Amino acid sequence: MKRFFLLPLLLSACDVPRLEAPAPRYPTKLFGAPFSLRPGQRLDASELVERLGRLQYMATGLPSSPGTYRKDLNSVEIYLRGFSRPIYGAGPARATAVFEEGILLALKDTSGADLPDARLEPELIYEFTGPERVRREPSRFERLPRHLLDAVVAVEDRRFYHHWGVDLRGTLRAAWHDLRARRVLEGGSTITQQLARGLYLSPKRTFWRKLRETGLAFGLEARYSKDDILRLYLDQVYFGQDGPVSVCGVQAAARFFFDKQPEQLSLGESALLVALLASPYQFNPFRDPDRALARRRVVLALMREQGFITPSQEQAARLEPVRVSRAAHQPARPADFFVASVQEELERRYPGQALVTYGMSIYTTLDPWLQERAQRAVSRAKFEAALVALDPATGAVRALVGGKDYAAHPFNRATAARRQPGSAFKPFVYGAALRAAGPQGRRWTPATFVPDKPERYPADGRSWTPRNYDGLYRGMTTVRQALALSLNAPTVHIASELGTRRVIDYARALGIKSDLRSDLGVALGSSELSLFELTAAYTPFADEGLKAEPYSIEGVVGADGDVLEYRVPRSPAAVISPEEAWLVTELLRGVVRGGTARTLSRWGLENVAAGKTGTTNDGKDAWFVGYVPGLVCGVWTGQDIPTRSSMTGASHALPIWADFISAAAPSAREWQDPWPKPAGVVEATLDPVSGLVAVAGCPTRVTEYFLPNTAPTKSCPLHFSGVVGWLKRMLKR
């Protein structure tokens, strides 16, 4: 059966090596984003020196070679190493950064001429494999349990024992899918083809690579037995990560996940290992036991359908609990949650072995310096916590922390957990109100008066009365005060007049994709969202109404230097006007200056930050989402199993946010005008009692801001101007 008239030709064309030992592996490296230096940016010399130290630049008396620098009193002279990455790069160059009061005042070249910018090279943040970073132990085929081998065949290649390396049916099916999609997709590969691809080929998806893969598969089948091919496949296949160590091969995987030898594995444990092959990150039982169990059920069902096990064996294995061992776990590192998120994304684009075989370079958006400070802030939380930091102008993920300890609990609470955001959702209600007309065409403005009193609303055949968190009602209050103090009664009143459809449409426009309730509870954040999603939806407020889709991967380069993919810069979409974005920001600054987030003054951030607290019923979840120029950050804190507590956004989430922002932007307190007012915003002086234009006799005045054609034009009728006003005030005395 192994003799075929084309095999000698295929063998000579593909030059199949002998496979007594696993082929060499090349590390896949993850890099952070290059750090840009630009005149005028908020940056002090100490931060720059710290960043240089992370890149192992050496302090010297005279920077005479790449990788050296010298710090003087108000300047840092650097000999930049240069770097290359998709789309752009930079060669070695010398630059002097001049500082003044927390600002990078100028960049100079060796001649003293001004430079527009300079970039530090990307920092290496992770290697999926490399020298002494692969945990692999050769297995003895005769000791591998039959049900493990059957599970692999059932899931990966049901006709493994009946083809010569290529399954024509699977190949035709994959080719049809390729033609329909008009691009090369993974699919239809046999175990032999997967082995050939993992050992000898690059991840670049081309028809020529597929042809070489086919020839290599025929060559392997001609030279080795089915048992040899299956053993080699199981010895080299990738099962996941233990910190910086790649777990490859069934022997190492059995020890890592179950602390057993492969021959000791039960049917359920074998099925769970095979379940990992589809996505070592997605079905990791440490990270998501429920998803791992669901995939195990699929494996067992396939084994039963193909006659490898009986229905009773399937049922017994389905009932086996997942007992995984944590003894071998490596210590967590600051970027582990981000790396795991990138790994999940890469597994959707490349075959599972690519991360430990092909020597790719992955260029990401992460700022490792910010990431370290984010992890540090989260680690000090009293409960579980998560943090997301985004560049609002580009959508680049600058820091992401999914929990306090990745090694102990690798579940990513920043992206995967979905909780009610409570009052952190309210900016979408007030933003929708500012841009829409109310009853009889009335426009809501920051100065509009809203009733703050108990009101009944129909809800599921009954009535519902929203209550303020503090139990107090103020009779009438302005839109500005209602948001600053996070009052529930006025918020629901606005939503009832506005209509929930407008609130939902506004939230959708800013990026909320999750299901939203269509009742008035949506105004108080009753719909479950992820922290990542909510934080991203705040970015248009921070960037003049522009919405950039969040992303983590800039580009991927193969070991041979070929660019496998890169992200083409996209222009952000205008979802609200610059005036609307500024006005919402102004209201959220009111939350910080005198509302529920006023404790930010302890960190000196009251004049530069905008944001909103959020607390759910019974204190189960606490949120704070806010921003300073150039950085939007969201924080959630709570417990994995929602439990009643005394947490609030102001007392638990806000301090984490403030610790991070204070460390991430140490010169933020020095901003004089962080949010310049657009020309279209109208400024007016009002009487706070009437809400109308103040006259000379008004005893107190406030400055308020309005969108075009919404400012009040009538004068205050409660007070008199000139002599009459003076006489009236005298009589009152």
pLDDT digits 0-9 by tens, 596-617: 999 999 999 999 999 999 999 8
Residue with structure tokens 């791992």? 292
Q: Return the H-helix or E-strand segment holding 197.
A: helix 191-200
Provide the pairing of β-strand 384-390 with 563-566. Answer: unpaired
Active-site choice (189, 423, 662, 690): 423
Position 11 confidence tier, pLDDT thresholds 50, 70, 90 = very low
Poorest-confidence range of 18-27, 440-449, 500-509? Answer: 18-27
* Angle in degrees, 0-180, between the axes of helices 426-435 and 488-498, rounded to the nearest 10: 40
> How many degrees, rounded to 5, is the angle at CA 707 between CA 703 and CA 712?
60
Please give the average per-residue pLDDT across 244-253, as a whole number: 80
Residue with structure tokens 């009040």? 712
Does residue 704 have an active-site annotation? no
Highest mean pLDDT among 7-11, 489-493, 639-643: 489-493
| pLDDT for the residue 13 | 43
User: What's 465-480 look like in SS3?
Assistant: CCCCCCCCCCEEEEHH
Copy the structure tokens of residue 247.
Answer: 């777990």
Cα–Cα nearest to 549, from 528, 533, 530: 533
Assign 574 to helix, strand or coil.
strand
* CATH superfamily placement of domain 7-22+138-332: Biosynthetic peptidoglycan transglycosylase-like (1.10.3810.10)
pLDDT digits 0-9 by tens, 705-733 = 999 999 999 999 888 765 455 555 555 55
As a whole-number percent, the residues of the chain with pLDDT over 70 amount to 85
Residue 23 has pLDDT above 60, yes or no: no
Copy the structure tokens of residue 101.
Answer: 């009061």
Question: Within the chain, what is the greatest distance between any pair of CA atoms?
Answer: 116
Q: Return the H-helix or E-strand segment holding 257.
A: helix 250-258
Cα–Cα nearest to 665, from 399, 415, 424: 399
- For residue 7, the Cα-to-chain-centroid distance in whole angstroms is 49
* CATH superfamily placement of domain 366-414+529-565+612-676: DD-peptidase/beta-lactamase superfamily (3.40.710.10)
| pLDDT for the residue 669 | 64
Please report, for residues 17, 227, 247, the alpha-carbon distance to residue 254 in angstroms, rounded to integers and kept in the order given. 28, 20, 10
Q: Which residues contact 111 (CB under 8 A, 6 or more apart)?
A: none
> How many degrees, rounded to 5, is the angle at CA 535 between CA 534 and CA 538?
95
Position 415 confidence tier, pLDDT thresholds 50, 70, 90 = very high
Residue 137 has pLDDT above 80, yes or no: no
| pLDDT for the residue 255 | 84
Q: CA-CA distance, 178 to 398, in Å (whole number)?
A: 35
Mean of all residue pLDDT scores within the chain: 86
Residue 352 has pLDDT above 80, yes or no: no
* pTM, entire model: 0.78
Please give the average per-residue pLDDT across 126-149, as a whole number: 70
Domain-wise residue ranges, the chain: 7-22+138-332, 34-121, 366-414+529-565+612-676, 682-732
Please give the average per-residue pLDDT across 231-243, as a whole number: 81
CA R_g for the chain: 31
Amino acid present at 463: S
pLDDT digits 0-9 by tens, 47-66 = 999 999 999 999 998 999 99
List residues bridging with 119 in a β-sheet.
Answer: 36
Residue 324 exposed, middle or buried by CB count within 10 Å (0-12, 13-18, 19+) = middle
Position 288 confidence tier, pLDDT thresholds 50, 70, 90 = confident
Residue 610 exposed, middle or buried by CB count within 10 Å (0-12, 13-18, 19+) = buried
Copy the structure tokens of residue 395.
Answer: 């959508």
Cα–Cα nearest to 139, from 223, 16, 26, 253: 253
Amino acid present at 7: L
Q: DSSP states of 185-219 as a string? A: ------HHHHHHHHHH--S---HHHHHHHHHHHHH
List residues bridging with 96 in a β-sheet.
Answer: 77, 108
Higher per-residue pLDDT: 209 or 418: 418
Active-site choice (121, 123, 156, 704): 156
Contact 309, 162 (CB under 8 A): no
Higher per-residue pLDDT: 290 or 134: 290
Contact 314, 300 (CB under 8 A): yes
| pLDDT for the residue 9 | 41
Phi, psi of 707, deg, nearest 5: -70, 160
Question: Torsion over CA of 278, 281, 283 and 288, rounded to 10 degrees?
Answer: -170
Cα–Cα nearest to 343, from 271, 295, 259, 415: 415
Residue 515 has pLDDT above 90, yes or no: yes
As a whole-number percent, the residues of the chain with pLDDT over 90 amount to 56
Residue 291 has pLDDT above 70, yes or no: yes
Position 84 confidence tier, pLDDT thresholds 50, 70, 90 = confident
| pLDDT for the residue 540 | 98
Poorest-confidence range of 8-17, 384-393, 424-433? Answer: 8-17
Q: Which residues contact 112 (CB under 8 A, 6 or more apart)?
A: none
Please report, for residues 110, 453, 461, the alpha-carbon distance to residue 483 in angstroms, rounded to integers and kept in the order given. 53, 15, 29
| pLDDT for the residue 117 | 92
| pLDDT for the residue 330 | 55
Please report, for residues 491, 683, 685, the alpha-carbon distance to residue 703 in angstroms, rounded to integers and kept in the order given. 23, 7, 5
pLDDT digits 0-9 by tens, 157-168 = 888 888 877 877
List the beta strands (DSSP E) in 536-688: 546-547, 553-557, 563-566, 573-574, 610-615, 621-628, 631-638, 682-686
Please give the average per-residue pLDDT across 651-676, as a whole number: 85
| pLDDT for the residue 185 | 44
| pLDDT for the residue 334 | 85
User: What's 17-65 look like in SS3?
Assistant: CCCCCCCCCECCEEECCCEEECCCCECCHHHHHHHHHHCCCEECCCCCC
Higher per-residue pLDDT: 199 or 22: 199
Position 105 confidence tier, pLDDT thresholds 50, 70, 90 = very high
Position 200 confidence tier, pLDDT thresholds 50, 70, 90 = low
CATH architecture for segment(s) 34-121:
2-Layer Sandwich (3.30)
| pLDDT for the residue 28 | 82
List residues bridging with 364 in a β-sheet.
Answer: 553
Does residue 347 have an active-site annotation? no
Cα–Cα nearest to 369, from 330, 405, 335, 409: 335
- For residue 197, the Cα-to-chain-centroid distance in whole angstroms is 31
Q: Which residues contact 609 (CB under 8 A, 6 or more apart)?
A: 589, 592, 597, 600, 626, 627, 628, 661, 668
Contact 535, 625 (CB under 8 A): yes
Q: Return the H-helix or E-strand segment holding 581.
A: helix 578-594
Other C-beta atoms within 10 Å of 515: how many? 11
Higher per-residue pLDDT: 665 or 52: 52
pLDDT digits 0-9 by tens, 329-344 = 555 678 999 998 998 8
Contact 579, 596 (CB under 8 A): no
- For residue 562, the Cα-to-chain-centroid distance in whole angstroms is 27
Residue 671 has pLDDT above 80, yes or no: no
Residue 326 exposed, middle or buried by CB count within 10 Å (0-12, 13-18, 19+) = exposed
Residue 1 has pLDDT above 60, yes or no: no
Copy the structure tokens of residue 375.
Answer: 């992890």
Residue 350 exposed, middle or buried by CB count within 10 Å (0-12, 13-18, 19+) = buried
Contact 447, 704 (CB under 8 A): yes
286 φ/ψ sector (left φ>0, alpha ψ -120 to 50, else beta): alpha
Q: CA-CA distance, 694 to 99, in Å (whole number)?
A: 45
Residue 486 exposed, middle or buried by CB count within 10 Å (0-12, 13-18, 19+) = buried
**In sequence order, which ranges of 415-459 are alpha helices (DSSP H)?**
426-435
Residue with structure tokens 């630049």? 57
Residue 195 has pLDDT above 90, yes or no: no
Position 575 confidence tier, pLDDT thresholds 50, 70, 90 = very high
Please give the average per-residue pLDDT across 578-586, as a whole number: 97
Copy the structure tokens of residue 421.
Answer: 């955001």
